[in-house]
Structure 1
Amino acid sequence: MAALDTINNISFFDTLNEQQKEQIASISLVNKYPKDSILYYESETSKNLLFLVSGLLKIFKLDKFENEIFLYHIYNNSMISELSSIEQNDIYCFSNAEFIEDSEVLSINFEKFHELFLSKNILTIELMEILLKKTHQLQCIVNRELVFDATAKVAFMINQDLEMFNKLKRQEVSFMLHIQPETLSRVLKKLSRNGSIEIDNSEVKIKDKTALEYVFKGVGV
């Protein structure tokens, strides 16, 4: 897919006119990545602002024993880059990123992007909105990893990412949430008994969203 066509399909650029989109395209590349390939490793730096055009990306860290700690997924039509400053040209990678589907990534020269757009207050609000959402996402990760018990972890994932929960094998979900498969099974039965969810041929459906949210809302606040 050509860079301009790609830009037209990413909502972040919707407020731009055609000339501005062509400017973005002139400083961009679209790259394809196969499933299981690595986009970047923790502590690397990049000169480019990255957006996931299609596919699925897993963001994770490794502990001192090289055990994987799952953080979150990035879906298509989303910014990948984790910006700590809009004034520096180098973009620091705070985690590892691995493709779990064949994917396409839009790569934009960040120095030129800053010069042509951010320095003129174009797309600044849109970028801040994305960064604020990423900050909220980080707060959710802190709760999930440090505050939530197993029941809250499972309820939170079902509420926030039901499609992915059903797409993954139960063992994969357990691994992501750092709980035992037997614990996941018990939690699902518990949530089913209290009427929060129902399970039909192994597919989880939300039956009472308010009751489901009650399981994790207010925990750690």
Structure 2
Amino acid sequence: MSLKNTLNSLEFFKTLNEKDIDLLCSISTIQSLNANYILHYEKQKSSSLLFLVEGLAKAYKIDKHSNEIFLYYIYEKSLLSDITDINNKDITAYSNIELVENSTILSIEYNQFKNLFLQKNLLCLELLQEVAIKSQKLDSLVNREFIFDAVQKVAQMLESDLEMFNKLKRHDISLILHIQPATLSRVLNRLKRNNIIDIIQGKVNILNKDELKEIGND
């Protein structure tokens, strides 16, 4: 896919006219990167605004014992960069970002993007929406780590990210949710007994979405 077609395929840029798209092309590049590639590390500064066009990425931190602390997944057609202060010259990474699958990355020169678009009130609402999505992810992270019990953690992941839940190994899900594998199995069996989910050949099907959502939001 050409750079122009790539930009036109992203909802973020749908409000731009053809002239604006051409201008954006002049400050943008796309590249294909393999799985396990580290896009950036925590606190690293970058002069580029990054979007995940295709593929899958994960955000994580490393604790003082060198353990990986999973934060959240980033799906295709989403903003990868962390915007905390639009007045800063560079973008400072909140976390490490690693590609989980072979991916296509859109890179836009950040300062020129601000001058040519944001300062002309173009794409401001779109950027605000992406920042709000990041904020919601961090809010969910706080709930998952400090407020929710094991049942709520599993219910929330099933309700919000069933496809990823079924794609991952149970051991990996346990690491993400910071619960023991045996606890995960007990929770799934409990939800199945209560006819909230069914498990067929290891894959979870949701039978009662409303009740599952209620458990995850309690």
* Normalised TM-score (structure 2): 0.98
Distance 1:170 1:206 in 2: 17
For residues 70-116 of structure 1, give each alpha carbon's deviation from its aligned partner in whole angstroms, at most 9, with x where no partner exists. 11001111011110011222000010011111111000001000001
Shift of 1:196: 1.5
Shift of 1:130: 1.2
Shift of 1:58: 0.8
| Unpaired stretches in structure 1, ≥5 consecutive residues | none
CA root-mean-square deviation: 0.9
Partner of 1:31: 31
SS in structure 1 at match of 2:113: helix
* Normalised TM-score (structure 1): 0.96
For residues 25-54 of structure 1, give each alpha carbon's deviation from its aligned partner in whole angstroms, at most 9, with x where no partner exists. 110010121111111000101101100011
Distance 1:155 1:89 in 2: 41
Instruction: Give % identity.
Output: 47
Letter in 2 for 1:58: K
Shift of 1:216: 2.1
SS in structure 2 at match of 1:64: coil
Alignment of 1:41-190 (within 5 A): 41-190=41-190
Report the count of equivalent residues. 218
Distance 1:125 1:146 in 2: 31
Letter in 2 for 1:31: Q
Alignment of 1:13-32 (within 5 A): 13-32=13-32
Letter in 1 for 2:142: V
Letter in 1 for 2:212: L
| Unpaired stretches in structure 2, ≥5 consecutive residues | none
Distance 2:120 2:206 in 1: 45
**Moved >4 Å (runs of 4+):** none
